[in-house]
Structure 1
Amino acid sequence: MISVEELYQRFTWLSLDVVFGAMGGLLFFSKLLRVPLPWTIYALLGMAVWVIYTFDHLMDSRKLSKGTNMDRHTFHQKHALALWFLLIINSVIGLYGAYVTFGIGKELLVASVLGGMILLLMLLIRMLPISFHWLKEANTAIFYVLGIALLPFLRFSFEDWEWQIGLLMTGYIGLAYLNLIMLSWLDSGKDQASGFGSLLSVLSKEKVGSLIRRLAFFLIAAFLLCLVFFPSFYRVFASLLLLMALIHYLTFYDKKLTASQIRFRMEATFFIPWLLLFW
């Protein structure tokens, strides 16, 4: 019988954790900017995120030799044909759904340009020498947050802009980057053995560990200050980001947990913005 941990592992291998995390992030920015969105926007975002991440993992899995133990990548290598089929189907349905939902206009054009940029940069980083692969985490963090915040910002009236919005968005990017470099640190041995580049391609594991600690402390302190000094409306969002940062820090440095357990818990923190459904 498959355990809950094994079931969740397969859930993450299929990038469904990233999908629901991204949809939670969309809810975060929808509430932050006070721009209500229909459920179809969440579904389209989820499909787009799944296509991008699955494409990324399928491309990575092509580099592996048979029998390499990379878990997620081995899964994508083994089921490549079925996943490519699902990727194409999701792409076609997603594009049609986007056309029906947005029509031919600014929103569809901007979303298509952003999606194209993300895929292009993913391929470009792979073509660069491995010493440039430190860009992968920074690129992913920035475009991840831009992607989930895109529609709320396109429908937002910038006459209502307040500086707290910019700080919270920057904090979300910082948190996404912290998550990615923590995961790279955990997977450093496997990545190096399989020729995958990351921040650890240019910095030692000790230096990346120091960066992780300093960034975590900085984000926790920054979100705590936001919680204290922001107006009451923005404190809700600062408190969620503070909770997510604290869980990352406490989980990453919990010596009782295995690498898999640390990964699962940190990735699950991006479900926390779903609490905004009750607010």
Structure 2
Amino acid sequence: MNQPEFAHALLNADAPVPAGIIDPQGRPAGRRFDVYRNNVIASLCQAMADAYPAVQRIVGDAFFKAMASVYVRANPPKTPIIQQYGDDFAIWLEGFAPAARLPYLPDVARLEWLRRKTYHAADATPAAPDVLARIPEGDLPDARLHFIPAMAVIRSPFPVLAIWQKTIETPELALPAGGQTVLIARPQTRVNMHALARHHDVFLQHLAQERLGSALDQMAQAEGFDLGAALAAILQARLLANVTIEPVANQAKQINGGKT
């Protein structure tokens, strides 16, 4: 018996019991292996339910259990860390025909996985709320904004945040028309989610890669972009870990905690 054979048999009920699986008396232990196989599949299905509670509520317990069982049998764990299992579930859902009547379901799954990923991301102490106000006006174009690791953005043609909120928190919530871009962040201990205004996600992308002045240049043609509102949203969500001043010569100084 080799490891791939054992793993294949473990997740496929129709596969024969691997040779060498015996009981204490040396007899073939097919029944015992079946119990072990069922326990493994049940544990992985429960891990899926833990990771995707909104998806489970949307489709119902029975449908989710059957769907998770199909996913589990086709997608063995890639790592021994159970919290990382199911990372590609949203992609898999896109091709799962029985759920095709719910076209928003893959994006709900993406949102839930990013919540989990953000929760387990590295910790970082957010910068003080007035960190940008302490920067001399002449240095602002050279400011580099460094974000906390525990954050992510998802863009969806569906009101994915409202769907999650209606499913998990507020059943009476009316769903807005159109799609939503959602910021997911954990500045301290709690994962927060906010619907982003138009262009704010693009601005965040630029800020993650370049200085504030360059990011603003990139947004110059973005119709209706409000810099003040975008920066206020960043500060309110406590996304900044620190800010450095990086002139072209790249001699950086830190602006955080009242120190320069």
Please, what TM-score do these two structures have when normalized by structure 1?
Answer: 0.27
Please, what TM-score do these two structures have when normalized by structure 2?
Answer: 0.29
Q: Whose helix proportion is higher, 1 or 2? A: 1
Give 1 or 2 for the bigger CA radius of gyration: 2
The structure whose RCO (Cα within 8 Å, separation 6+) is larger is 1
